[in-house]
Amino acid sequence: MRLLVTGASGYVGAGVLRRAPQDWEIAATYFAHPIEQTSVAAFCVDVRDVDAVYQLFDQFRPHVVIHTAALMTGDQMMSVNADGSRIVARMATKFNARLIHMSSDVIFDGEHAPYDETASAAPITPYAESKARAEELVCAEYSNPIIVRTSLVYGFNPMDPRTRQTLDGNFPRLFTDEYRCPIFVDDLADALIELAQLLRAEREISVINIAGPQRLSRYEFGVKLANAFHVEPKFQPAVSASFATPRPRDCRLDISLAQSVLKTQLRSVDDVLSDIRLV
């Protein structure tokens, strides 16, 4: 298997590199932060650079692409997330590679949860708009991508930036009325790898929700993390609805499709925290 992982210097992409079978040939892209793992072929590529993406595909000839590269903030979000995804999808079509595209639960407005795979995007933030547009462009460029919609991704080895900031007290307030389905990074990575393998067996899935089974408010999640690490919560409860900028309130994803087609267990936060040893 030749697997191309875009955004492999990021949290999810790095998780895929850690969990991928050792006998797979892997190419991994980064942009500003070089990849530390030496067992993969690393390429510095801006996904908006059509010539660079073409050369990458031409050189590596992937069977499967897991496209995680994206920006969460800033004025480049639309170009990187939407236009960059279009270019990756175009090259996946041109080089006959199967495409797994990472999307997000925040493409929904948060007022109609739970969301299954048939739910229509209704983005209410600039990041969400860029991710919803990415889905549209990917589907326009590529006839049968797998769009993976996920939720808050967390993990401890290494620790994801949001958990680190929560424990360090960098978020003075956490919302009690904003619900997500956090997913452990190893579970998400294993599910993505399983999907890459299912593709070889020609299983057709167009959209799949891969998230945790436990809906938690950001505040509840923060408290669970603080308790697990035996630190005093350094944040106060707050109400998202009282903020001037609208944010999607409840983005709970229905994961019954993933639970029926994947062997990978998508564990609840409670199960993960009781399963693993925290240091």
Ligand X SMILES: NC(=O)c1ccc[n+]([C@@H]2O[C@H](COP(=O)([O-])OP(=O)(O)OC[C@H]3O[C@@H](n4cnc5c(N)ncnc54)[C@H](OP(=O)(O)O)[C@@H]3O)[C@@H](O)[C@H]2O)c1
Binding stretches for ligand X (CB under 6 A): 7, 9-13, 30-33, 45-48, 68-72, 80, 84, 102, 104, 131, 150-153
CB of 49 vs ligand X, minimal distance in Å: 8
- Nearer CB in complex with ligand X: 23/62: 62
Kindly tell me which of 45 and 132 has the beta carbon lying closer to ligand X: 45
Strand-strand pairing, 41-44 and 173-175 = unpaired
d(CA 62, CA 12): 19
Of 116, 89, 97, whose CA–CA distance to 105 is shortest? 116
Q: From residue 221, how far is each of 50, 199, 225, 249, 275 by CA, in Å? A: 40, 33, 6, 15, 17
Amino acid 217 reads S
Least distance between ligand X and beta carbon 163 (Å): 10
Q: Closest CB to ligand X among 184 and 235?
A: 184
Angle at 212 between CA 139 and CA 145, to 5 degrees: 15
Is the CB of 102 or the CB of 262 nearer to ligand X? 102
In terms of CB distance, is 85 or 244 closer to ligand X? 85
C-beta of residue 268 within 8 angstroms of C-beta of residue 212: yes
- Report the nearest approach of ligand X to the CB of residue 101 (Å): 8
Q: Tell the smallest beta-carbon distance from residue 228 to ligand X (Å).
A: 18
In the complex with ligand X, the residue whose CB is nearer, 11 or 235, is 11
Q: Which stretches of the chain are assigned E, i.e. beta strand?
A: 2-6, 25-30, 41-44, 64-67, 98-104, 146-150, 153-154, 173-175, 179-180, 183-184, 207-210, 216-217, 236-238
Nearest residue by C-beta to ligand X? 10
Work out how close the CB of 202 gets to ligand X at its nearest, in angstroms, rounded to a whole number: 25
Shortest Å distance, C-beta 32 to ligand X: 3
